[in-house]
């Protein structure tokens, strides 16, 4: 398991964890562009954003937050299980649970997207807005789709990676001594969770 | 960066705290506080982030270097937001020099 | 253009700020020159004096020298702060039009400049102005970002779609000066040029006298106002379904949202193009948007008209457009 | 310099395996560096061709060589290729890749597969770019300003944006790899303050790559969306604000200038130290100034927008911050100069490039002050003054450093020496040609000639002709190394492990090095640049 460029396992593990954190810093800035756009337009178009936000289903948003937070718990427990040397089936089971929760999140998201599509709230030629401030509402929905869409892409990637890690875990690859892939996958998963923790109030809860 | 192992009950406790905070976010949103709504919602989000980062992501027990990179990510985001907002916030201010 | 040994070195100084910009330029050139010569000189001396010679080892310690390093950090810092304050002060001047400046309205489009004088004259790629009088340009683009640049006046500013930007200058010398588009705007960007003709005030009056059969801008704007049916709601005596526009320009407006806004050109433009973003208390959101219905020039004429609607008691302060 | 006749090591990273597969699937940082060297050279030649055509067109004021549209495509493609496909990857991916593991005594970077992926991603982005070029090019200017790029341009903007977007990830991967490697893979005894300054510079550069690049990526993605689906956030017709684009664009693209110049500064530190046989004066300050430039460099982007319609208050803040970033750069120049003091200076070609760098970077730096000065910038913004300024930084600075570094480490990379006299001649020709090309452009800019002009008033012709004449000399200067370096691959004298008598771990191993770099992991016991150990003992 030790690659030739490293001296020992702890150097390898520390490198992997640091590498993931640097990557997450990159990810923060990747979303950062959209957060900056959101901030600028929320400041300028406060009224339109509030009106548009009311058409989002706050309950579904809250439910999704709960689903993601739960998946973070199962992910953290999976890493914990590897750390303490639980059986492969135990680790893999927690990972599959995490993955299923991720899929549940994406499912709820799909329902919401479908709902917006039906109500002509997708920006573009087909956008229909009952009320004033059409442009501002459209801008809100543009940002809504861009931010949640980018987040959903990250979720999709996460589900894929967790699947691979779950298979490897089931084959008994991860031990208390070596579980770097599992650990950094966990970091990624929690990060995507954190992004949603901010998206939820910013998009669904505009008073 | 020791491979610190947390007890399961810590994870569960953090999870319960996160759920309580989620409920609080939704509850506060029902009350109209004007500008304070967004402040409250974001403050709670920040607390949640701290919980996830410190415990689920083990940063509390990680090397100082990891702390720095976590900070760097959020600090740079602040630079982007704050300095671009200097423009948007002050555009409508009265002209300079008078 | 000023030459030195046959090479052109400086554009003409033809505005009130040109001399001040050049003075700052000389200061910057002097500071840069002194530093550059100092560094090049020292390097030359060192590389000659300490060139490698057989049997001779170098003897210096390379560990740094606190005092020296402090000096060469603090001195440049101090100099840059001088530059900052000087530049900022000059920027205030260049940026802020003096009160009572003469208005000219500019519309940029791919790839021409359209100028409109309050008296109604319009010209393309040529701008006639009187010498010695501050001129304030209110500018907007019909398509992409442009930038109006007059090197002899040392001023430029971007011309944006969707929002007015302004710049001002006061020509100090008669003559013809080039104007350029300085922000890349597409295929014929380099043809989006023209001339500023600075004239004696009497000549300018003569020039104004010939042309403009449609009348001054605010009159054209008034006709447009009637054509578009604005007057059905915006009555002068405040009895219409919309607020009266008399005395609006320059006043402070409190919106439904509680926000207080200065009723300037941009405010009025936004009210016409996106009325629902500027709702007032006590009025229904019934105004349709005129976006795409009125040209940018038409909007400027309407604004000129609304600007001219001053209440009787305020008439003595008058507006410059009359 | 060496007493006995040097010989090539029998087995090294170049001759251990000759198959194509061993190159395309290599995880050896040295081989990946060479893959990058070939790729960026191709793009450099392509970008230079565009530059040559631009200067030919500008010989006459009337634009009678190419059409308006084609001229616009020329400067756009020149800018995009030179910036994203040559300058930004140049030193980090070639010299950085080759040297960082060796300088810190490691066998490889922390993530060799990610390193290889970086090259593939770069190549994929390059393919998109060449596709866009072949399909007719792009005419937006390298800045992609909206709404021109998102609505009005009829060229291959989307393909190009995808190319730049993809290449951005190459930058991110490389930066991430360097950061982790420098933190975690240093040899025993190699503390931060014993690192060569090149490592510090690459570290600072990596920080910018990792934190800046994602912002341009997401921004260009939004431009692409706006262009393809007519939904977006930058078009005023859709309620958007084109200045938001400029903020996001310059948030990356100003620090990107430091991605180009910081590695060169690192190279110059190595060269000055080696060829004057001195420790870099004020080592710690020079090291910290790299990091300071990387951090403060992120706070100044608004100085590209003083006349853009940005709030004047924001302009004030950005102007002030811009002056602050000048200080660490100035300190570096002073410290290099002081390093020469009482040195033992030789005039080998890399040193000539380093001295040229200091001179040209100084001019580029001080003219940057003009642009940071609010009242001054109003006049010179978007004129040839700006063009001259950034070429002094990017060509006079970044490329001089790259050339110097390439010559300096050429013996290490190939095991053979280049012909010294030719190299000195090339350095001189490049220096003279460069100044003749770009100095007149400062004057042109102050006279008011706007940049990106296909045709121009006749009174600007004299200076333009001078500039074009200089460009032809510069072109010859760049061709020379191409020939003699290729020549030296087979005919150059055998270099031996350390032809310069330089300090640094990379010179302890044979040239070319073995695949694993070091037979044994070296242990470091002294500071960098210990050219005179007896003094370092007392210091």
Q: What are the DSSP calls for B17-56, one per residue?
A: HHHHHHHHHHHHHHS--THHHHHHHHHHHHHHHHHIIIII
Residue contact C157–D309, C-beta within 8 A: yes
Residue contact D446–C181, C-beta within 8 A: no
Question: Which DSSP helix (H) or strand (E) runs through C134?
Answer: strand C134-141
Scanning chain A, the segments in alpha helix (DSSP H) are 9-44, 46-53, 58-83, 88-118, 134-170, 180-199
Tell whether C73 and C171 lie within a shared domain. no
Rounded-to-integer distance, Cα B88 and Cα A42, Å: 11
Task: Provide the b/e sequence for D111-132 (b: ≥16 CB within 10 Å).
Answer: bbebbbbbbebbbbbbebbbeb
Q: Which domain holds residue C310?
A: 217-314
The yes-or-no verdict on residue D342 having pLDDT over 90 is no
Asked whether D427 and D353 are in contact (CB, 8 A), the reply is: yes
Tell whether B36 and B81 lie within a shared domain. no
Residue contact C277–A46, C-beta within 8 A: no
Q: What is the dihedral of CA D428, D433, D436, D442, to 10 degrees?
A: -100
Mean pLDDT of D458-478: 95
The yes-or-no verdict on residue D492 having pLDDT over 50 is yes
Quick: pLDDT tens for D206-225.
Answer: 999 999 999 999 999 999 99
Q: Where are the domains of chain A?
A: 9-204
Residue among A4, A19, A30 whose CB faces D218 most closely? A30
Tell whether B9 and B55 lie within a shared domain. yes
Asked whether C171 and C129 are in contact (CB, 8 A), the reply is: yes
Which residues of chain A register pLDDT less than 70? 207
The yes-or-no verdict on residue D4 having pLDDT over 80 is no
Asked whether C90 and C20 are in contact (CB, 8 A), the reply is: yes
Q: Residue A47 phi/psi, 5° resolution?
A: -65, -45
Search chain A and give the residue with CA nearest B36: A207
Domain presence at residue C154: yes
Among residues C189, C209, C229, the one where a domain terminates is C209
Scanning D398-539, the segments in alpha helix (DSSP H) are 400-414, 420-447, 461-491, 533-538
Q: What is the dihedral of CA D483, D486, D490, D493, to 10 degrees?
A: 70
ipTM: 0.92
Rounded-to-integer distance, Cα B62 and Cα A188, Å: 16
Number of domains in chain B: 2
Neighbours of chain A (3+ CB pairs under 8 A): B, C, D
Chain A residues in contact with C288 (beta carbon < 8 A): none
Rounded-to-integer distance, Cα A89 and Cα D395, Å: 59
Residue contact B88–A44, C-beta within 8 A: yes
**Model pLDDT, residue D213:** 96
Q: Which domain holds residue B54?
A: 1-61
Quick: pLDDT tens for B40-90.
Answer: 999 999 999 999 999 999 999 888 999 999 999 999 999 999 999 999 998
Among residues C70, C95, C120, the one where a domain terminates is C95
Rounded-to-integer distance, Cα D168 and Cα D166, Å: 5
Task: Provide the b/e sequence for A174-204 (b: ≥16 CB within 10 Å).
Answer: beeebbbbbbbbbbbbbbbbbbbbbbbbbbb
Mean pLDDT of C121-131: 93
Q: DSSP for A151-199, please give it.
A: HHHHHHHHHHHHHHHHHHHHTT---SS--HHHHHHHHHHHHHHHHHHHH
Rounded-to-integer distance, Cα D280 and Cα D277, Å: 9
Model confidence at C319, pLDDT cuts 50, 70, 90, reads very low
Domain presence at residue C319: no
Among residues C149, C180, C209, the one where a domain terminates is C209
Model confidence at D238, pLDDT cuts 50, 70, 90, reads confident
**Model pLDDT, residue C318:** 40
Tokens at C263, concatenated: 């009723």
Tokens at C51, concatenated: 């060139």
What CATH number labels D29-538?
Answer: 1.20.210.10
What integer best gives the mean pLDDT of chain A?
93
Tell whether C144 and C160 lie within a shared domain. yes
**Model pLDDT, residue C63:** 60
Tell whether B4 and B51 lie within a shared domain. yes
C70, with CB counted inside 10 A (0-12, 13-18, 19+), is exposed
Tell whether C255 and C240 lie within a shared domain. yes
Residue among A24, A35, A66 whose CB faces B22 most closely? A66
Residues 29..68 of B with a Cβ closer than 8 Å to A: which?
29, 32-34, 37-38, 41-42, 44-45, 48-49, 52-53, 55-57, 62-63, 65-66
Tell whether B2 and B30 lie within a shared domain. yes
Residue contact A36–B81, C-beta within 8 A: yes
Quick: pLDDT tens for C241-282.
Answer: 888 888 888 888 888 777 788 888 888 888 888 887 777 887
Rounded-to-integer distance, Cα B17 and Cα B20, Å: 5
Asked whether C122 and C157 are in contact (CB, 8 A), the reply is: no
Number of domains in chain C: 3
Q: Residue D417 phi/psi, 5° resolution?
A: -90, 145
Domain presence at residue B98: no
Rounded-to-integer distance, Cα D430 and Cα D371, Å: 26
Asked whether B95 and C96 are in contact (CB, 8 A), the reply is: yes
Residue C92 sits at the chain B interface (C-beta within 8 Å): yes
The yes-or-no verdict on residue C132 having pLDDT over 70 is yes
Rounded-to-integer distance, Cα B68 and Cα D513, Å: 35
Parallel, antiparallel, or unpaired: how do β-strands C102-109 and C112-116 relate? antiparallel
Residue among B76, B80, B87 whose CB faces D310 most closely? B87
Instruction: Assign residue C263 the CATH number of its domain.
Output: 1.10.760.10
Residue C50 sits at the chain D interface (C-beta within 8 Å): yes
Residue among C20, C31, C39 whose CB faces D337 most closely? C39
SS3 of C178, please?
A: strand
Tell whether B47 and B82 lie within a shared domain. no
Rounded-to-integer distance, Cα A62 and Cα B24, Å: 11
Model confidence at C321, pLDDT cuts 50, 70, 90, reads very low
Residue contact A133–C277, C-beta within 8 A: yes
Domain presence at residue C322: no
Q: Mutation test of the interface with chain D: which of B74, B87, B98, choosing the one with the most D Cβ atoms within 10 A?
A: B87
CA distance B41 to chain C (A): 22
Residue contact D308–C89, C-beta within 8 A: no
Rounded-to-integer distance, Cα D376 and Cα C33, Å: 17
Query: What CATH class does A9-204 carry?
Result: mainly alpha
Residue among B73, B79, B87 whose CB faces D311 most closely? B87
What integer best gives the mean pLDDT of chain D?
94
Quick: pLDDT tens for C46-105.
Answer: 999 988 887 666 665 556 678 888 888 899 999 999 999 999 999 999 988 898 899 999
Tell whether B41 and B79 lie within a shared domain. no
Tell whether B40 and B81 lie within a shared domain. no
- In what order do the strands lie in the sheet containing C126-130? C126-130, C194-199, C175-181, C146-150, C155-159
> The dihedral of CA A72, A78, A82, A85: what is its sign?
positive
Tell whether C139 and C177 lie within a shared domain. yes
C-alpha angle with apex A74: A69 to A78, nearest 5 degrees?
145
Residue contact C95–B98, C-beta within 8 A: no
């Amino acid at each position: 398991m030790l690659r030739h460029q490293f001296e020992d396992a702890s150097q390898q593990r520390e490198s992997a964890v640091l590498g993931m954190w640097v990557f997450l810093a990159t990810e923060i800035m990747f979303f950062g562009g959209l957060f900056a756009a959101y901030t600028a337009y929320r400041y300028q178009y406060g009224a339109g954003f509030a009106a548009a936000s009311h058409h989002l289903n706050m309950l579904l948003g809250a439910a999704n937050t709960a689903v993601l937070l739960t998946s973070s718990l199962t992910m953290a427990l999976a890493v914990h299980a590897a750390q303490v040397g639980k059986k492969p089936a135990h680790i893999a089971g927690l990972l599959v649970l995490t993955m299923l929760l991720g899929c549940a999140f994406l499912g709820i998201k799909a329902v919401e997207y479908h709902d917006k599509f039906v109500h002509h709230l997708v920006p573009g030629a087909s956008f229909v807005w009952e009320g004033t401030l059409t442009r501002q509402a459209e801008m809100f929905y543009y940002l809504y789709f861009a931010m949640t869409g980018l987040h959903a892409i990250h979720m999709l990637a996460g589900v894929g990676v967790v699947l691979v890690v779950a298979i490897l875990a089931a084959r008994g690859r991860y031990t208390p001594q070596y579980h770097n892939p599992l650990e950094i996958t966990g970091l990624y998963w929690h990060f995507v969770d954190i992004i949603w923790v901010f998206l939820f109030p910013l998009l669904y809860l505009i008073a | 960066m020791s491979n610190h192992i947390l007890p399961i009950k810590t994870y569960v406790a953090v999870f319960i705290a996160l759920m309580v905070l989620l409920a609080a976010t939704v509850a506060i949103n029902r009350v109209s506080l004007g500008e304070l709504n967004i402040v409250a919602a974001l403050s709670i989000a920040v607390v949640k982030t701290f919980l996830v980062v410190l415990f689920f992501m083990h940063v509390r027990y990680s090397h100082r270097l990891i702390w720095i990179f976590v900070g760097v990510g959020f600090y740079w985001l602040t630079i982007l937001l704050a300095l671009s907002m200097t423009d948007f916030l002050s555009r409508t201010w009265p002209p300079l020099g008078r | 253009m000023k030459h030195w040994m046959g090479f052109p070195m400086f554009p003409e100084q033809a505005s009130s700020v040109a001399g001040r910009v050049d003075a700052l330029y000389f200061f910057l050139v002097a500071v840069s020159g002194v530093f550059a010569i100092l560094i090049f000189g020292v390097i030359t001396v060192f590389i000659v004096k300490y060139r490698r010679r057989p049997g001779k080892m170098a003897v210096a310690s390379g560990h740094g020298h606190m005092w020296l390093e402090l000096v060469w950090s603090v001195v440049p810092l101090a100099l840059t702060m001088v530059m900052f304050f000087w530049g900022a002060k000059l920027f205030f001047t260049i940026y802020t039009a003096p009160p009572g400046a003469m208005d000219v309205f500019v519309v940029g489009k791919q790839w021409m400049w359209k100028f409109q004088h309050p008296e109604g004259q319009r010209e393309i790629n040529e701008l006639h102005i009187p010498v010695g009088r501050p001129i304030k340009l209110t500018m907007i683009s019909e398509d992409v970002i442009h930038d109006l640049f007059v090197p002899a006046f040392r001023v430029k500013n971007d011309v944006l779609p969707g929002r007015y930007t302004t710049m001002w200058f006061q020509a100090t010398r008669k003559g013809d000066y080039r104007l350029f588009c300085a922000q890349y705007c597409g295929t014929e960007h380099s043809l989006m040029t023209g001339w500023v003709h600075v004239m004696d005030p009497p000549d300018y009056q003569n020039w104004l006298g010939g042309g403009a059969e449609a009348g001054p801008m605010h009159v054209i704007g008034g006709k447009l106002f009637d054509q578009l049916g604005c007057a059905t709601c915006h009555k002068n005596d405040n009895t219409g379904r919309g607020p009266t526009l008399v005395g609006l320009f320059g006043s402070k407006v409190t919106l439904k949202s509680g926000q207080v806004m200065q009723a300037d050109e941009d405010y009025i433009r936004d009210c016409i193009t996106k009325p629902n973003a500027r709702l007032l208390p006590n009025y229904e959101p019934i105004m349709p948007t005129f976006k795409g219905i009125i040209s940018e020039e038409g909007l400027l004429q309407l604004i000129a008209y609304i600007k001219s609607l001053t209440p009787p008691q305020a008439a003595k302060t008058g507006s410059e457009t009359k | 310099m060496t007493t006995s006749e040097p010989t090539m090591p029998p087995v090294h990273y170049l001759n251990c395996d000759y198959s194509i597969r061993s190159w395309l699937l290599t995880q050896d940082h040295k081989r990946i560096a060479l893959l990058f060297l070939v790729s960026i050279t191709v793009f450099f030649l392509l970008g230079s061709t565009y530059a040559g055509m631009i200067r030919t067109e500008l010989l006459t004021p009337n634009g009678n060589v190419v059409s308006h549209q084609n001229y616009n495509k020329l400067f756009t493609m020149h800018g995009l290729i030179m910036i994203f496909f040559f300058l930004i990857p140049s030193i980090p991916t070639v010299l950085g890749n080759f040297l960082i593991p060796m300088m810190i005594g490691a066998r490889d970077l922390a993530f060799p597969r990610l390193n290889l992926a970086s090259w593939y991603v770069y190549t994929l982005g390059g393919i998109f770019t060449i596709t866009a070029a072949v399909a007719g090019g792009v005419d937006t200017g390298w800045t992609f300003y909206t709404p021109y790029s998102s609505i009005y341009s009829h060229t291959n903007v989307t393909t190009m944006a995808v190319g730049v977007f993809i290449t951005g990830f190459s930058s991110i991967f490389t930066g991430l790899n360097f950061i982790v490697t420098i933190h975690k893979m240093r040899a025993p005894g190699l503390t931060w303050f014993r690192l060569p300054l090149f490592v510090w510079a690459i570290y600072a550069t990596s920080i910018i790559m990792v934190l800046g690049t994602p912002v341009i990526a997401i921004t260009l993605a939004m431009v692409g969306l706006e262009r393809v689906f007519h939904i977006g956030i930058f078009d005023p017709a859709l309620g958007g604000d084109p200045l938001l684009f400029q903020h996001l664009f310059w948030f990356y693209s100003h620090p990107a200038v430091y991605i180009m110049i910081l590695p060169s500064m690192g190279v110059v530190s190595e060269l000055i130290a080696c060829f004057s046989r001195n420790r870099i004066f004020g080592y710690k300050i020079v090291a910290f100034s790299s990091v300071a430039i990387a951090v403060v460099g992120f706070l100044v982007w608004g100085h590209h927008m003083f006349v853009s319609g940005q709030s004047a208050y924001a302009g004030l803040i950005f102007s002030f911050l811009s002056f602050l970033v000048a200080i660490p750069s100035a300190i570096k120049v002073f410290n290099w100069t002081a390093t020469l003091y009482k040195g033992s200076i030789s005039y080998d070609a890399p040193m000539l490039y380093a001295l040229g760098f200091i001179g040209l970077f100084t001019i580029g730096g001080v003219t940057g002050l003009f642009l940071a000065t609010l009242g001054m910038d109003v006049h010179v913004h978007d004129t040839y003054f700006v063009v001259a300024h950034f070429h002094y930084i990017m060509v006079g600075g970044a490329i001089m450093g790259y050339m110097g570094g390439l010559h300096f480490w050429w013996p290490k990379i190939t095991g053979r020496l280049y012909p010294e006299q030719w190299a000195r001649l090339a350095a001189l020709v490049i220096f003279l040609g460069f100044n003749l090309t770009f100095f007149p452009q400062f004057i042109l800019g102050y006279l008011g000639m706007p940049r990106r002009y296909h045709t121009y008033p006749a009174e600007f012709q004299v200076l333009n002709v001078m500039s074009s004449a200089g460009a032809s000399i510069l072109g010859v200067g760049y061709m020379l190394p191409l020939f003699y370096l290729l020549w030296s691959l087979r005919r150059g004298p055998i270099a031996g492990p350390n032809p310069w008598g330089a300090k640094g771990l990379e010179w302890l191993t044979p040239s070319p090095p073995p695949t694993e770099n070091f037979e044994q992991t070296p242990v470091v016991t002294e500071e960098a640049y210990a050219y005179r150990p007896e003094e370092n003992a007392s210091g």
